[in-house]
Amino acid sequence: MTANESFAGTVPAALISAPGSGQGKSLITAALARLHRNAGRRVRVFKFGPDYLDPMVLERASGAPVYQLQPWMTGEAECRWRLAEAATQADLILAEGAMGLFDGTPSSADLAVLAGIPAIPVIDAWGMAQTFGAVALGLARYRDDLTVREVIANRVASPRHGDLLAEGLPADLTLLGAVPRHEAMTLPERHLGLVQAGELDDLDQRLDQAAAVLAEAGLDRLPAPVTFNAPRPAPPPRLLEGKRIGVARDAAFAFLYPANLDLLRDLGAELHFFSPLADTTLPAVDALWLAGGYPELHGAALAANTALRETIRAHHQAAKPILAECGGLMSCLETVVDGDDEAHQGFGLLPGTARLTRKLQGLGMHALRLGDHELRGHTFHHATLENAPAAQLFSEKQSGTGGEPVFVKNGLVASFFHGYFPSSPTLVASILEGRFPPSQ
Protein backbone atom coordinates (compact mmCIF):
# COMPACT_ATOMS: atom_id res chain seq x y z
CA MET A 1 0.00 0.00 0.00
CA THR A 2 1.33 3.40 -0.97
CA ALA A 3 0.89 6.70 0.83
CA ASN A 4 -2.01 7.83 -1.41
CA GLU A 5 -4.03 4.63 -1.01
CA SER A 6 -6.83 4.16 1.51
CA PHE A 7 -7.81 1.70 4.18
CA ALA A 8 -11.36 0.42 3.66
CA GLY A 9 -13.48 -2.28 5.26
CA THR A 10 -16.89 -3.16 6.65
CA VAL A 11 -17.08 -4.76 10.07
CA PRO A 12 -19.45 -4.86 13.07
CA ALA A 13 -18.53 -1.97 15.38
CA ALA A 14 -19.83 -0.12 18.44
CA LEU A 15 -18.81 2.40 21.08
CA ILE A 16 -19.43 1.09 24.61
CA SER A 17 -20.27 4.06 26.81
CA ALA A 18 -22.35 4.95 29.89
CA PRO A 19 -24.25 7.77 31.59
CA GLY A 20 -21.17 8.39 33.75
CA SER A 21 -18.10 6.84 35.36
CA GLY A 22 -18.53 3.80 37.61
CA GLN A 23 -21.26 2.11 35.54
CA GLY A 24 -19.07 -0.88 34.64
CA LYS A 25 -18.33 -0.12 30.98
CA SER A 26 -14.60 -0.94 31.20
CA LEU A 27 -15.01 -4.53 32.30
CA ILE A 28 -18.03 -5.07 30.07
CA THR A 29 -15.98 -3.86 27.07
CA ALA A 30 -13.14 -6.19 28.06
CA ALA A 31 -15.53 -9.10 28.63
CA LEU A 32 -17.18 -8.51 25.25
CA ALA A 33 -13.77 -8.53 23.59
CA ARG A 34 -12.83 -11.78 25.33
CA LEU A 35 -16.24 -13.33 24.56
CA HIS A 36 -15.88 -12.77 20.82
CA ARG A 37 -12.19 -13.63 20.82
CA ASN A 38 -13.01 -16.95 22.50
CA ALA A 39 -15.57 -17.50 19.72
CA GLY A 40 -12.71 -17.32 17.21
CA ARG A 41 -13.21 -13.75 16.03
CA ARG A 42 -10.43 -11.22 15.48
CA VAL A 43 -11.24 -8.33 17.81
CA ARG A 44 -9.77 -4.83 17.84
CA VAL A 45 -10.50 -2.52 20.76
CA PHE A 46 -9.81 1.21 21.02
CA LYS A 47 -9.98 3.52 24.03
CA PHE A 48 -11.48 6.99 23.81
CA GLY A 49 -9.23 9.59 25.39
CA PRO A 50 -6.06 9.41 27.45
CA ASP A 51 -5.81 6.24 29.50
CA TYR A 52 -3.10 3.69 30.20
CA LEU A 53 -4.74 1.25 32.61
CA ASP A 54 -7.96 0.27 30.83
CA PRO A 55 -6.05 -0.41 27.58
CA MET A 56 -3.77 -2.86 29.40
CA VAL A 57 -6.80 -4.95 30.34
CA LEU A 58 -8.44 -4.49 26.94
CA GLU A 59 -5.26 -5.67 25.23
CA ARG A 60 -5.21 -8.85 27.31
CA ALA A 61 -8.88 -9.37 26.60
CA SER A 62 -8.65 -8.91 22.83
CA GLY A 63 -5.13 -10.15 22.14
CA ALA A 64 -4.29 -7.03 20.10
CA PRO A 65 -2.73 -3.63 20.92
CA VAL A 66 -5.17 -0.95 22.06
CA TYR A 67 -4.76 2.54 20.62
CA GLN A 68 -6.22 5.86 21.74
CA LEU A 69 -8.89 7.69 19.77
CA GLN A 70 -9.62 11.27 20.84
CA PRO A 71 -10.38 13.85 18.17
CA TRP A 72 -8.52 16.67 19.96
CA MET A 73 -5.51 14.69 21.21
CA THR A 74 -4.96 12.28 18.32
CA GLY A 75 -6.70 14.35 15.63
CA GLU A 76 -9.81 13.47 13.65
CA ALA A 77 -7.85 12.11 10.69
CA GLU A 78 -6.00 9.65 12.91
CA CYS A 79 -9.27 8.46 14.47
CA ARG A 80 -10.60 7.70 11.00
CA TRP A 81 -7.57 5.89 9.62
CA ARG A 82 -6.93 3.78 12.70
CA LEU A 83 -10.50 2.51 12.58
CA ALA A 84 -10.33 1.97 8.84
CA GLU A 85 -7.04 0.09 9.16
CA ALA A 86 -8.55 -2.11 11.89
CA ALA A 87 -11.54 -2.81 9.66
CA THR A 88 -9.23 -4.45 7.12
CA GLN A 89 -8.02 -6.92 9.76
CA ALA A 90 -10.78 -7.51 12.33
CA ASP A 91 -14.14 -9.25 12.64
CA LEU A 92 -15.29 -6.83 15.36
CA ILE A 93 -14.30 -3.32 16.45
CA LEU A 94 -15.12 -2.00 19.91
CA ALA A 95 -14.29 1.40 21.34
CA GLU A 96 -14.55 2.07 25.06
CA GLY A 97 -15.77 5.55 25.95
CA ALA A 98 -14.65 7.71 28.87
CA MET A 99 -16.77 9.15 31.70
CA GLY A 100 -20.32 9.81 30.48
CA LEU A 101 -21.37 9.55 26.85
CA PHE A 102 -21.63 13.33 26.42
CA ASP A 103 -18.95 14.43 28.90
CA GLY A 104 -15.98 16.46 27.71
CA THR A 105 -15.10 18.45 24.61
CA PRO A 106 -14.81 16.39 22.52
CA SER A 107 -16.95 13.66 24.09
CA SER A 108 -17.26 9.94 23.46
CA ALA A 109 -20.41 10.78 21.50
CA ASP A 110 -18.35 13.06 19.25
CA LEU A 111 -16.09 10.13 18.41
CA ALA A 112 -19.07 7.89 17.64
CA VAL A 113 -20.53 10.51 15.29
CA LEU A 114 -17.14 11.17 13.65
CA ALA A 115 -16.58 7.46 13.05
CA GLY A 116 -20.19 6.66 12.12
CA ILE A 117 -20.51 3.95 14.78
CA PRO A 118 -23.48 3.35 17.11
CA ALA A 119 -23.15 3.88 20.85
CA ILE A 120 -24.25 1.15 23.25
CA PRO A 121 -24.65 2.63 26.74
CA VAL A 122 -23.98 0.50 29.80
CA ILE A 123 -26.42 1.60 32.51
CA ASP A 124 -26.06 0.54 36.14
CA ALA A 125 -29.57 -0.71 36.92
CA TRP A 126 -29.02 -1.06 40.67
CA GLY A 127 -32.09 0.38 42.42
CA MET A 128 -33.99 1.10 39.17
CA ALA A 129 -36.91 -0.44 37.31
CA GLN A 130 -38.92 1.56 34.75
CA THR A 131 -36.71 4.61 35.33
CA PHE A 132 -34.03 2.66 33.46
CA GLY A 133 -36.04 3.32 30.32
CA ALA A 134 -36.08 7.06 30.98
CA VAL A 135 -32.30 7.13 31.33
CA ALA A 136 -31.88 5.10 28.14
CA LEU A 137 -34.34 7.33 26.30
CA GLY A 138 -32.47 10.46 27.35
CA LEU A 139 -29.16 9.07 26.13
CA ALA A 140 -30.70 8.01 22.82
CA ARG A 141 -32.49 11.30 22.14
CA TYR A 142 -29.99 13.85 23.47
CA ARG A 143 -28.33 14.26 20.06
CA ASP A 144 -29.99 13.75 16.70
CA ASP A 145 -26.71 12.85 14.99
CA LEU A 146 -25.86 9.98 17.36
CA THR A 147 -27.15 6.44 16.82
CA VAL A 148 -28.25 4.51 19.92
CA ARG A 149 -30.29 1.39 19.20
CA GLU A 150 -29.33 -0.88 22.10
CA VAL A 151 -28.45 -0.58 25.77
CA ILE A 152 -26.86 -2.90 28.31
CA ALA A 153 -28.19 -3.19 31.85
CA ASN A 154 -25.53 -3.86 34.49
CA ARG A 155 -25.80 -5.13 38.06
CA VAL A 156 -29.24 -6.64 37.48
CA ALA A 157 -30.71 -8.33 40.57
CA SER A 158 -32.77 -11.13 38.97
CA PRO A 159 -34.40 -12.30 35.71
CA ARG A 160 -37.59 -10.52 36.77
CA HIS A 161 -35.60 -7.32 37.29
CA GLY A 162 -34.24 -7.70 33.77
CA ASP A 163 -37.76 -8.14 32.39
CA LEU A 164 -38.90 -4.92 34.08
CA LEU A 165 -35.97 -3.04 32.55
CA ALA A 166 -36.75 -4.34 29.06
CA GLU A 167 -40.46 -3.58 29.40
CA GLY A 168 -39.70 0.02 30.35
CA LEU A 169 -37.74 0.77 27.17
CA PRO A 170 -39.29 2.69 24.27
CA ALA A 171 -40.20 0.63 21.23
CA ASP A 172 -37.13 1.66 19.21
CA LEU A 173 -34.60 0.69 21.90
CA THR A 174 -33.54 -2.89 22.60
CA LEU A 175 -32.01 -4.38 25.74
CA LEU A 176 -28.91 -6.09 24.37
CA GLY A 177 -28.43 -7.91 27.66
CA ALA A 178 -29.04 -7.80 31.39
CA VAL A 179 -25.74 -8.45 33.19
CA PRO A 180 -26.30 -9.84 36.70
CA ARG A 181 -24.48 -8.82 39.84
CA HIS A 182 -21.59 -11.27 39.81
CA GLU A 183 -18.16 -11.40 41.43
CA ALA A 184 -16.63 -12.00 38.01
CA MET A 185 -17.71 -8.49 36.95
CA THR A 186 -15.19 -6.64 39.11
CA LEU A 187 -11.48 -5.87 38.93
CA PRO A 188 -9.29 -4.41 41.71
CA GLU A 189 -8.52 -0.68 41.63
CA ARG A 190 -6.12 1.83 43.20
CA HIS A 191 -5.70 5.61 43.15
CA LEU A 192 -5.17 6.02 39.39
CA GLY A 193 -7.76 3.43 38.31
CA LEU A 194 -7.57 -0.28 37.58
CA VAL A 195 -4.64 -2.29 38.90
CA GLN A 196 -2.18 -2.88 36.04
CA ALA A 197 -2.96 -5.97 34.00
CA GLY A 198 0.53 -7.40 34.54
CA GLU A 199 -0.01 -7.39 38.31
CA LEU A 200 -3.07 -9.68 38.14
CA ASP A 201 -1.89 -13.27 37.88
CA ASP A 202 -5.44 -14.51 37.33
CA LEU A 203 -6.53 -11.84 34.85
CA ASP A 204 -7.14 -14.26 31.97
CA GLN A 205 -9.27 -16.46 34.23
CA ARG A 206 -11.21 -13.39 35.38
CA LEU A 207 -11.80 -12.28 31.79
CA ASP A 208 -12.97 -15.73 30.74
CA GLN A 209 -15.40 -15.81 33.67
CA ALA A 210 -16.70 -12.34 32.82
CA ALA A 211 -17.12 -13.37 29.18
CA ALA A 212 -19.14 -16.39 30.29
CA VAL A 213 -21.39 -14.12 32.35
CA LEU A 214 -22.04 -11.94 29.30
CA ALA A 215 -22.73 -14.97 27.11
CA GLU A 216 -25.29 -16.22 29.61
CA ALA A 217 -26.86 -12.74 29.55
CA GLY A 218 -27.23 -12.85 25.77
CA LEU A 219 -24.50 -10.39 24.83
CA ASP A 220 -22.87 -12.67 22.26
CA ARG A 221 -24.71 -10.98 19.37
CA LEU A 222 -22.58 -8.83 17.07
CA PRO A 223 -23.41 -5.13 16.55
CA ALA A 224 -24.40 -3.84 13.11
CA PRO A 225 -21.70 -3.62 10.41
CA VAL A 226 -20.09 -0.23 9.76
CA THR A 227 -18.12 0.77 6.66
CA PHE A 228 -14.83 2.58 7.28
CA ASN A 229 -12.71 4.33 4.67
CA ALA A 230 -9.76 6.65 5.26
CA PRO A 231 -6.46 7.55 3.52
CA ARG A 232 -3.22 6.06 4.70
CA PRO A 233 -1.15 8.73 6.51
CA ALA A 234 2.16 9.91 5.13
CA PRO A 235 5.15 8.60 7.10
CA PRO A 236 6.94 11.12 9.35
CA PRO A 237 10.44 12.33 8.50
CA ARG A 238 13.25 10.15 9.91
CA LEU A 239 14.28 12.74 12.49
CA LEU A 240 15.74 10.15 14.90
CA GLU A 241 17.48 7.94 12.37
CA GLY A 242 20.04 5.75 14.14
CA LYS A 243 19.30 7.14 17.62
CA ARG A 244 19.20 4.57 20.40
CA ILE A 245 16.55 5.35 23.00
CA GLY A 246 16.35 3.58 26.34
CA VAL A 247 12.70 3.13 27.41
CA ALA A 248 11.95 2.35 31.05
CA ARG A 249 9.31 -0.39 31.17
CA ASP A 250 8.34 -2.40 34.24
CA ALA A 251 5.74 -2.32 37.04
CA ALA A 252 6.94 1.14 38.12
CA PHE A 253 7.13 2.67 34.62
CA ALA A 254 4.43 1.26 32.37
CA PHE A 255 2.38 4.17 30.98
CA LEU A 256 3.40 3.81 27.34
CA TYR A 257 1.01 4.51 24.47
CA PRO A 258 1.58 2.03 21.61
CA ALA A 259 1.26 4.99 19.23
CA ASN A 260 4.17 6.74 20.98
CA LEU A 261 6.40 3.69 20.58
CA ASP A 262 5.34 3.35 16.94
CA LEU A 263 6.13 7.01 16.29
CA LEU A 264 9.64 6.74 17.71
CA ARG A 265 10.32 3.73 15.48
CA ASP A 266 8.84 5.53 12.48
CA LEU A 267 11.19 8.45 13.21
CA GLY A 268 14.08 5.99 12.85
CA ALA A 269 14.90 5.35 16.51
CA GLU A 270 16.02 2.02 17.95
CA LEU A 271 14.14 1.28 21.19
CA HIS A 272 15.91 -0.56 23.99
CA PHE A 273 13.71 -1.43 26.98
CA PHE A 274 15.09 -1.65 30.49
CA SER A 275 13.75 -2.08 34.00
CA PRO A 276 14.67 0.51 36.67
CA LEU A 277 13.50 -2.06 39.21
CA ALA A 278 15.59 -5.02 38.05
CA ASP A 279 18.47 -3.82 35.85
CA THR A 280 21.71 -2.53 37.34
CA THR A 281 22.90 -0.65 34.27
CA LEU A 282 21.47 1.14 31.27
CA PRO A 283 21.70 -0.19 27.72
CA ALA A 284 24.06 1.74 25.47
CA VAL A 285 21.70 4.54 24.42
CA ASP A 286 21.71 8.15 23.28
CA ALA A 287 18.57 9.17 25.19
CA LEU A 288 16.22 7.97 27.92
CA TRP A 289 12.45 7.97 28.25
CA LEU A 290 11.18 7.62 31.83
CA ALA A 291 7.46 7.22 31.30
CA GLY A 292 4.70 7.49 33.86
CA GLY A 293 3.63 4.73 36.20
CA TYR A 294 3.78 3.97 39.89
CA PRO A 295 7.27 4.79 41.22
CA GLU A 296 5.63 5.68 44.54
CA LEU A 297 4.53 2.04 44.97
CA HIS A 298 8.08 0.81 44.37
CA GLY A 299 10.02 3.52 46.15
CA ALA A 300 12.04 1.17 48.35
CA ALA A 301 13.06 -1.09 45.45
CA LEU A 302 14.02 1.84 43.23
CA ALA A 303 16.03 3.44 46.04
CA ALA A 304 17.83 0.17 46.71
CA ASN A 305 19.00 -0.10 43.09
CA THR A 306 21.94 2.23 43.62
CA ALA A 307 23.86 0.92 40.61
CA LEU A 308 21.17 1.92 38.14
CA ARG A 309 20.61 5.26 39.88
CA GLU A 310 24.28 6.13 39.44
CA THR A 311 24.15 5.11 35.78
CA ILE A 312 21.13 7.37 35.20
CA ARG A 313 22.89 10.21 37.04
CA ALA A 314 25.97 9.74 34.86
CA HIS A 315 23.79 9.86 31.75
CA HIS A 316 22.31 13.15 32.98
CA GLN A 317 25.65 14.64 33.98
CA ALA A 318 26.86 13.95 30.43
CA ALA A 319 23.95 16.15 29.21
CA LYS A 320 22.37 13.26 27.33
CA PRO A 321 18.64 13.71 26.70
CA ILE A 322 16.05 12.41 29.17
CA LEU A 323 12.28 12.75 28.80
CA ALA A 324 10.53 12.16 32.15
CA GLU A 325 6.72 12.08 32.30
CA CYS A 326 4.67 12.20 35.51
CA GLY A 327 5.99 9.18 37.45
CA GLY A 328 9.23 9.69 35.57
CA LEU A 329 9.36 13.27 36.86
CA MET A 330 8.67 12.08 40.41
CA SER A 331 11.53 9.58 40.26
CA CYS A 332 13.93 12.29 39.03
CA LEU A 333 13.61 14.32 42.23
CA GLU A 334 15.78 13.82 45.28
CA THR A 335 12.99 12.28 47.34
CA VAL A 336 9.72 10.43 46.65
CA VAL A 337 7.21 10.18 49.53
CA ASP A 338 4.65 7.40 49.11
CA GLY A 339 1.07 7.07 50.31
CA ASP A 340 2.20 5.79 53.71
CA ASP A 341 4.33 8.92 54.20
CA GLU A 342 7.53 6.89 53.74
CA ALA A 343 10.37 8.80 52.07
CA HIS A 344 12.54 7.11 49.43
CA GLN A 345 15.60 8.33 47.57
CA GLY A 346 14.94 9.32 43.98
CA PHE A 347 17.39 9.59 41.10
CA GLY A 348 18.36 13.08 42.26
CA LEU A 349 18.44 14.79 38.86
CA LEU A 350 16.35 17.66 40.26
CA PRO A 351 16.17 19.07 43.79
CA GLY A 352 12.97 18.69 45.77
CA THR A 353 10.42 16.13 46.90
CA ALA A 354 7.51 14.46 45.11
CA ARG A 355 4.74 13.60 47.57
CA LEU A 356 1.77 11.33 46.86
CA THR A 357 -1.52 12.73 48.16
CA ARG A 358 -5.04 11.36 48.50
CA LYS A 359 -6.44 14.30 46.60
CA LEU A 360 -6.30 14.49 42.82
CA GLN A 361 -3.84 17.26 41.90
CA GLY A 362 -4.07 17.41 38.13
CA LEU A 363 -6.59 16.19 35.54
CA GLY A 364 -7.40 17.22 32.00
CA MET A 365 -6.26 17.69 28.44
CA HIS A 366 -3.11 19.80 28.02
CA ALA A 367 -0.71 20.88 25.28
CA LEU A 368 2.93 21.91 25.27
CA ARG A 369 3.17 24.80 22.80
CA LEU A 370 6.41 26.25 21.46
CA GLY A 371 6.05 28.51 18.44
CA ASP A 372 4.47 26.49 15.65
CA HIS A 373 4.91 23.23 17.56
CA GLU A 374 2.12 21.80 19.71
CA LEU A 375 2.45 18.49 21.55
CA ARG A 376 -0.97 17.45 22.82
CA GLY A 377 -1.70 15.14 25.72
CA HIS A 378 -3.04 15.17 29.24
CA THR A 379 -2.30 15.24 32.95
CA PHE A 380 -3.64 12.99 35.71
CA HIS A 381 -1.79 12.73 39.02
CA HIS A 382 -2.13 12.65 42.80
CA ALA A 383 1.33 14.07 43.57
CA THR A 384 2.64 17.47 44.60
CA LEU A 385 6.15 18.91 44.39
CA GLU A 386 7.94 20.50 47.34
CA ASN A 387 11.08 22.65 47.13
CA ALA A 388 11.32 22.01 43.41
CA PRO A 389 13.24 24.44 41.18
CA ALA A 390 11.55 27.09 39.06
CA ALA A 391 9.97 25.73 35.91
CA GLN A 392 11.23 26.89 32.53
CA LEU A 393 7.92 26.25 30.75
CA PHE A 394 4.31 25.33 31.46
CA SER A 395 1.83 23.23 29.58
CA GLU A 396 -1.49 24.81 28.69
CA LYS A 397 -4.94 23.43 29.43
CA GLN A 398 -7.20 22.68 26.50
CA SER A 399 -9.80 24.79 28.30
CA GLY A 400 -9.40 26.95 31.39
CA THR A 401 -6.26 28.34 32.96
CA GLY A 402 -3.22 26.85 34.64
CA GLY A 403 -0.77 24.27 33.41
CA GLU A 404 1.83 21.76 34.51
CA PRO A 405 5.40 22.96 35.13
CA VAL A 406 8.04 21.71 32.71
CA PHE A 407 11.60 21.47 34.06
CA VAL A 408 14.47 21.69 31.58
CA LYS A 409 17.96 20.99 32.87
CA ASN A 410 21.08 19.66 31.16
CA GLY A 411 19.18 17.61 28.60
CA LEU A 412 16.37 16.64 31.00
CA VAL A 413 12.78 17.60 30.13
CA ALA A 414 10.47 16.59 32.98
CA SER A 415 6.82 17.28 33.74
CA PHE A 416 3.57 15.75 35.01
CA PHE A 417 2.35 16.27 31.42
CA HIS A 418 1.94 13.10 29.33
CA GLY A 419 2.47 13.76 25.62
CA TYR A 420 0.83 12.02 22.68
CA PHE A 421 3.89 11.87 20.44
CA PRO A 422 2.21 11.65 16.99
CA SER A 423 0.64 15.08 17.61
CA SER A 424 4.08 16.71 17.22
CA PRO A 425 6.87 14.44 15.92
CA THR A 426 9.26 17.39 15.53
CA LEU A 427 8.90 18.51 19.14
CA VAL A 428 9.34 14.97 20.45
CA ALA A 429 12.43 14.47 18.29
CA SER A 430 13.92 17.73 19.57
CA ILE A 431 13.59 16.52 23.18
CA LEU A 432 15.19 13.15 22.48
CA GLU A 433 17.97 14.67 20.39
CA GLY A 434 18.87 17.12 23.17
CA ARG A 435 18.01 20.27 21.21
CA PHE A 436 14.96 21.33 23.21
CA PRO A 437 13.39 23.79 22.86
CA PRO A 438 13.60 23.49 19.06
CA SER A 439 14.52 26.42 16.87
CA GLN A 440 11.51 28.24 15.55
Q: What is the mean pLDDT of the chain?
A: 95
Contact predicate 426/438, CB 8 Å: yes
Superfamily of domain 244-433: Class I glutamine amidotransferase (GATase) domain (3.40.50.880)
Domain ranges of the chain: 6-231, 244-433
The pLDDT of residue 440 is 46
Task: Tell me: pLDDT of 390 over 80.
Answer: yes
The pLDDT of residue 197 is 76
Q: How confident is the model at residue 439 (pLDDT cuts 50, 70, 90)?
A: low
> What are the pLDDT digits (tens) for 308-324?
999 999 999 999 999 99
> What are the pLDDT digits (tens) for 337-373?
999 999 999 999 999 999 999 888 989 999 999 989 9
Task: Tell me: pLDDT of 194 over 80.
Answer: no
Sheet holding 412-415, edge to edge: 270-274, 244-248, 287-290, 322-325, 412-415, 405-409, 393-394
Task: Tell me: pLDDT of 75 over 80.
Answer: yes
Mean pLDDT along residues 158-167? 96
User: What proportion of the chain, given as a percentage, has pLDDT over 90?
Assistant: 90
Q: Quick check: is 79 catalytic?
A: no
Q: How confident is the model at residue 190 (pLDDT cuts 50, 70, 90)?
A: low
HEC profile for the chain?
Answer: CCCCCEEEEEEEEEEEECCCCCCCHHHHHHHHHHHHHHCCCCEEEEEECCCCHHHHHHHHHHCCCCEEECCCCCCHHHHHHHHHHHHCCCCEEEEECCCCCCCCCCCHHHHHHHHCCCEEEEEECCCCCCHHHHHHHHHHHCCCCCCCCEEEEEEECCHHHHHHHHHCCCCCCEEEEEEECCHHHCCCEECCEECCHHHCCCHHHHHHHHHHHHHHCCCCCCCCEEEEEEECCCCCCCCCCCCEEEEECCCCEEECCHHHHHHHHHCCCEEEEECCCCCCCCCCCCEEEECEECHHHHHHHHHHCHHHHHHHHHHHHCCCCEEEECHHHHHHEEEEECCCCCEEECCCCEEEEEEECCCCCEEEEEEEEECCEEEEEEEEECEEEECCCCCCEECEECCCCCCCEEEEECCEEEECCEECHHHCHHHHHHHHHCCCCCCC
- The one catalytic residue among 207, 288, 326, 383: 326
CA distance 418 to 284: 25
φ, ψ of residue 365 to 5 degrees: the values are -85, 135
> What are the pLDDT digits (tens) for 249-295?
999 999 999 999 999 999 999 999 999 999 999 999 999 999 999 99
CATH placement of domain 6-231: 3.40.50.300
Task: Tell me: pLDDT of 3 over 60.
Answer: no
The pLDDT of residue 399 is 86
Of 274, 269, 267, which Cα lies nearest the Cα of 247?
274
Q: Do domains 6-231 and 244-433 have the same CATH topology?
A: yes
Task: Tell me: pLDDT of 200 over 90.
Answer: no
